[in-house]
Amino acid sequence: MTRDEILKIVKEENVNFFRVQFTDIFGMIKNVAIPRSQLEKVLDGKMMFDGSSINGFARIEESDMYLKPDYDTFCVLPWRTKDGSSAARIICDITLPNGDPFVGCPRYNLKRVMAEAEKTGYRMNVGTECEFFFFNLDEKGNPTTNTHDVAGYFSVDPEDHGINCRREIILTLEAIGFEIEASHHEVAEGQHEINFKYADALTAADNTVTFKWVVKNIARKYGLHATFMPKPVFGINGSGMHTNQSLFTLDGQNAFFDENTPMQLSQVARAYVAGLLKHARGMAAVTNPLVNSYKRLVPGYEAPVYVAWSSSNRSALVRIPASRGMGTRCELRCPDPTCNPYLAFALMLNAGLDGVVNKIQPPPTTDQNIYKMTAEEKAAKNIMSMPASLKEALEEFKNNPIAKSTLGDHIFEKYVSAKEKEWDKFRISITDWETENYLSIY
């Protein structure tokens, strides 16, 4: 999209307010709201903000930063139209006063990693599957963990009470340019999934943060709270963000497909999977960034716990979906939707390329249910477990050979520092479980 095309849409749609968006290092959307009179300043990259106020960005003495818009992300927001006046959004990268990219900008960092990958001859395509819950609000409008339905996997109405809200989410997403492929009720009560078409890694990251924003906004219209928290309720399935990914050559061919090999997977695909397996534990602090993330990564709830791969086994960390040809891909099943997709995709890409560049061979596929294997059987196949806590994941992350080079010194150090504080705050907190089990006895 061009500057002139944006101005034409603004006039035709009577757009009077704008959300100028970016994300912090934890993947949270931030924005500056501006009136129409300031739009051209934004389009020219002259909108300044205080970077010291954004967690993980900059110190007070070096806080002036600018928002550089990506014209292709401009869209009118259907749910913000009122009395003939519309609102729109545009996603930005962060630059310094001298025009240089800010190294702490997650979106710029992903663009940097993608540019380096192109030097090896590949582009990354990504498709995410973000699961989420609808919960009721209490009388004060605060979220609860009470579900609004008793439906299950692939249920239909009337059991699937969230179907109308889900339908409006889909229509809204389509109106802003998403290609929706499917939607359905998930396994747990109140749990849902909406799938949209894959894209290049940068567009996929933009789409993922936009998707979550839209879901939360539309849910509120229906008096519901949408949450992407990985494990909001004990004893039922949590929410994941299965991440389908593939490498394409610069001339547009799927580098993962080879009809003359076992499973029709090329050596590039096998090496890429080997790289994901090699670095899975070291990436977990980013792909699964919360204390709560590790309440999901436990046996018994369809979440991947073990570092293995398979063509069909859903207990494995990496699965190869059945589609072949241009649809050949691998699916990393550990990430959850609270991750920062810009950082997560950058790590996945470099992990896979580590396998490709160094021609790493993956272990044999594991086609039996790993949950039912004994400890001895897993040890014999050298099947490791994913980290069991954010603390363990952070130690793996700090020792991972590609983590710092992928994220850059600034993001790496700010991220680790913040997550270590988060873990320590959790470590010294007193939980309801402790008071319920100890207070009356001791």
Are the C-beta atoms of residues 166 and 194 closer than 8 Å to each other? Answer: yes
Residue 242 is a catalytic residue:
yes
Catalytic residue among 93, 149, 160, 193: 193
Catalytic residue among 186, 189, 354, 396: 186
Query: Is residue 13 helix, strand or coil?
Result: coil
Residue 118 is a catalytic residue:
no
Report which of 343, 339, 348 is spatially closest to residue 410, judged by C-alpha positions: 343
Are the C-beta atoms of residues 277 and 366 closer than 8 Å to each other? Answer: no
Alpha helices for 255-402 (secondary structure H): 267-287, 293-296, 341-357, 375-380, 390-399
Report which of 201, 26, 211 is spatially closest to residue 110, judged by C-alpha positions: 201
Are the C-beta atoms of residues 237 and 187 closer than 8 Å to each other? Answer: yes
Residue 186 is a catalytic residue:
yes
Residue 5 is a catalytic residue:
no
- Compute the distance between CA of residue 242 and CA of residue 374 in angstroms, rounded to an integer: 26
Residue 296 is a catalytic residue:
no
Catalytic residue among 24, 93, 129, 258: 129
Q: Let me know if 235 is exposed, middle or buried by CB neighbors in 10 A (0-12, 13-18, 19+).
A: exposed
Residue 333 is a catalytic residue:
yes
Give the CA distances from residue 137 to residues 157, 341, 383, in Å, rounded to whole numbers and listed in that order: 22, 28, 42
User: Residue 337's Cα: distance from chain center in Å?
Assistant: 5
Catalytic residue among 333, 336, 354, 396: 333
Residue position matching structure tokens 């993330």: 293
What angle do helix axes 403-427 and 390-399 make, rounded to 10 degrees? 150
Residue 131 is a catalytic residue:
yes
Catalytic residue among 331, 336, 354, 396: 331
Q: Which amino acid, one-letter code, is at 189?
A: E
Report which of 132, 154, 152 is spatially closest to residue 143, judged by C-alpha positions: 132
Residue 436 is a catalytic residue:
no
User: Mind telling me the catalytic residues?
Assistant: 50, 129, 131, 186, 193, 242, 314, 331, 333
